[in-house]
Structure 1
Amino acid sequence: MVSSEHNTIQNRAHYDALYSKLSIDGLLRKLERLDAFLADATATDTSWVCMYQDHFKDRLQGAKVLELGCGDCTNAAVMAALGAQVYANDISDQSGVLIKALNAQADFDYPIQYYQGDFLNLTIDETDFDFVIGKAFVHHLTHEQELAFLDKIVRLLHPEGEVRYVEPAINSAFLDALRWMVPVPGRPSSLQVSRFRAWKALDPHPDRDNSGAHYKRVGQQYFKDVLIVPIGALERFNRLFPKAKWNRAFRRKAYHWERFLPSFLRYRWARTQTIVYRYPKSQL
């Protein structure tokens, strides 16, 4: 099993290299056409569909938000443009470079505040956050780190605050095995045994439980209200025809069609899940 310390080092190296290739030009273009960007992304792209469901956009004006694993900073920039007071954290130095450039060139009501480094080792002076959020970052943590994060988060949240994660959903061993068989850019098929083994050795994701049941069980240790919303039971099949002109149209329709599936199929087949924790137990 990978140690938590080694996992952090591996993630930092991976994302420093990845984000060093980014510039804010694309981010600024998205902010210039924010309404159109959000209308498309929150209807089509899974992580945005998940994060922005339940009128999340409308709840951001003036809200105090801590984003963990802010990565390429797109979501941090969007929330700031929507009027939120955004505090962003990532282990990558390069995320901080992007935040600095954004603050210099974008017209935010509240400049984004950046915390660089391992969240568990940082002193966060602010408290009473309305939201602590993360898009696809928890599955980069070991189970030990995940619990330590939640222990710290509950001390930073407002008594009626909310944690909102978007994470992969691994609720079917069969579908998970099929997923590994389908190659995607940067990742070979598991059927290409030697290439897959070499890729896996460099993969920054630890082996861990990413099922809805796991997130529900963990959340109930710290929060009174836990909601797991599986998404992408049909949308996931868009990966079978990634270059089709109608791919994005299929994805938008798939989110609608899957509502008619029985709940156990939506859960078993889900590609992604929104995880919502409310009302920290330590503050009740």
Structure 2
Amino acid sequence: MNPIPPNITQKNQDHYNKRYATVSIAGIEKKLKNLEAFLADATTTDTSWVAMFRNGFKDQLHGKKVLELGCGDCTLSAVMAGLGAVVTANDIAEKSGEIIAKINTEKLTKTPITFIQGDFLNRQLPANSFDLVVGKAFVHHLTHEQEAAFYQKIAHILKPGGEVRFVEPAVNSKVLDALRWMVPVPGRPSSLQTDKFKTWKEKDPHPDRDNSSAHYQKMGLRYFQEVKVIPIGFIERFNRLFPKSKTNRAFRKKAYQWEAKFPSWVQRSFARAQTVIFRKPKE
């Protein structure tokens, strides 16, 4: 296994420790106290939640051993534990561990969450030990070499009947991707602002890599017998044009319903994101 290079690890640690320093435990607690209402809204409106919880994911969780890679602000880990899963969470950011510690101290979930801090590839975990391995917006932080090493280890620790489920950006159209970079979002300038964009890019922790559906399909088949990639968000992505509108969330919810009426090749070609599912690890 090739560990993540120290310079990349430190760059990501610094970036995400700063980002997660402001995470509200009260906000997580509010979601857990109103879990059904939160999920009813989030899993029909917010891309990462819709993509993660599609195809009966919620019903798979109770009593299952789940590993979340790149747990970040720990909301997903907390929700899964709130639904009865036995969750182990991993992140390179120390702040994520502090959030998990507060969740456990305040007993916000049905079962305590185990936190593993640092490089996952350097952690010794038993074979066939997890029913589910999940991650939201995690894999695209890895180089292709690191991604391969992760998949190899995940295949080792996943139970034979288990499932891997990642939600990742989808880049299947170079034209749409170029347009996406042109639209500024909080914390990221438009690519048309050449100097500012260059400065931002130098600090960005994401490596230059292939995030196409074809890439995830091909890479996954190296280590798993079954791979399924489900696109999402090719209409929903346009909500960014009116982020402060009162109708924004209503548009997003409707967009997922409209998308389902289009052929799969259209959905994949123009998707904003994708659910990547691996099953049946290869020996």
Matches within 5 A, 1:2-41: 4-41=5-42
Residues 196 and 107 of structure 1: CA distance in aligned 2, closer, same or farther (over 3 Å): closer
Counterpart in the other structure of 1:188:
189
Counterpart in the other structure of 1:114:
115
> CA contact under 8 A between 2:86 and 2:111: conserved in structure 1?
yes
- Can you list the C-alpha shifts for 1:28-52, whole angstroms capped at 9, x where unaligned? 0111111100000000000000000
Which runs of no fewer than 5 residues in structure 2 stay unpaired?
A: none
Which runs of no fewer than 5 residues in structure 1 stay unpaired?
A: none
- Comparing 43-52 with 15-24, greater Cα deviation is found at 15-24
Counterpart in the other structure of 2:134:
133
Q: What CA distance in whole angstroms lies between the structure 2 residues aligned with 1:216 and 1:205?
A: 21
| Paired residue secondary structure (2:260) | helix
- Can you list the C-alpha shifts for 1:187-242, whole angstroms capped at 9, x where unaligned? 00000000000000000000000000000000000111100000001000110111
Following TM superposition, the consecutive aligned residue runs of length 4 or more in structure 1 with deviations greater than 3 angstroms are none
Deviation at 1:21, TM superposition (A): 2.0
> CA contact under 8 A between 1:7 and 1:142: conserved in structure 2?
no
Q: What CA distance in whole angstroms lies between the structure 2 residues aligned with 1:222 and 1:154?
A: 6
Deviation at 1:105, TM superposition (A): 1.1
Q: What CA distance in whole angstroms lies between the structure 2 residues aligned with 1:239 and 1:21?
A: 24
Q: What CA distance in whole angstroms lies between the structure 1 residues aligned with 2:153 and 2:8?
A: 19
Deviation at 1:122, TM superposition (A): 1.6
Q: Which amino acid aligns with 2:203?
A: L
> CA contact under 8 A between 1:175 and 1:269: conserved in structure 2?
yes
Deviation at 1:249, TM superposition (A): 0.3
Q: What CA distance in whole angstroms lies between the structure 1 residues aligned with 2:129 and 2:102?
A: 27
Indicate the percent of aligned positions where both proteins have the same amino acid. 59
Counterpart in the other structure of 2:245:
244
Counterpart in the other structure of 1:214:
215
Q: What CA distance in whole angstroms lies between the structure 1 residues aligned with 2:63 and 2:21?
A: 31
> CA contact under 8 A between 2:65 and 2:132: conserved in structure 1?
yes
| Paired residue secondary structure (1:221) | coil
> CA contact under 8 A between 1:28 and 1:106: conserved in structure 2?
no
Counterpart in the other structure of 2:69:
68
TM-score (norm 2): 0.96
Counterpart in the other structure of 1:81:
82
Counterpart in the other structure of 2:254:
253
- Comparing 140-149 with 120-129, greater Cα deviation is found at 120-129
Q: What CA distance in whole angstroms lies between the structure 2 residues aligned with 1:260 and 1:108?
A: 38
Q: What CA distance in whole angstroms lies between the structure 2 residues aligned with 1:234 and 1:26?
A: 29
> CA contact under 8 A between 2:169 and 2:211: conserved in structure 1?
yes
Counterpart in the other structure of 1:168:
169
TM-score (norm 1): 0.96
Deviation at 1:268, TM superposition (A): 1.0
| Paired residue secondary structure (1:249) | helix
Counterpart in the other structure of 1:91:
92
Q: What CA distance in whole angstroms lies between the structure 2 residues aligned with 1:20 and 1:254?
A: 33
Q: What CA distance in whole angstroms lies between the structure 1 residues aligned with 2:74 and 2:169?
A: 19
Counterpart in the other structure of 2:125:
124
Q: What CA distance in whole angstroms lies between the structure 2 residues aligned with 1:47 and 1:77?
A: 15
| Paired residue secondary structure (1:21) | coil
The reply on whether 1:58 has 2:56 as its aligned counterpart is no
Q: Which amino acid aligns with 2:39?
A: L
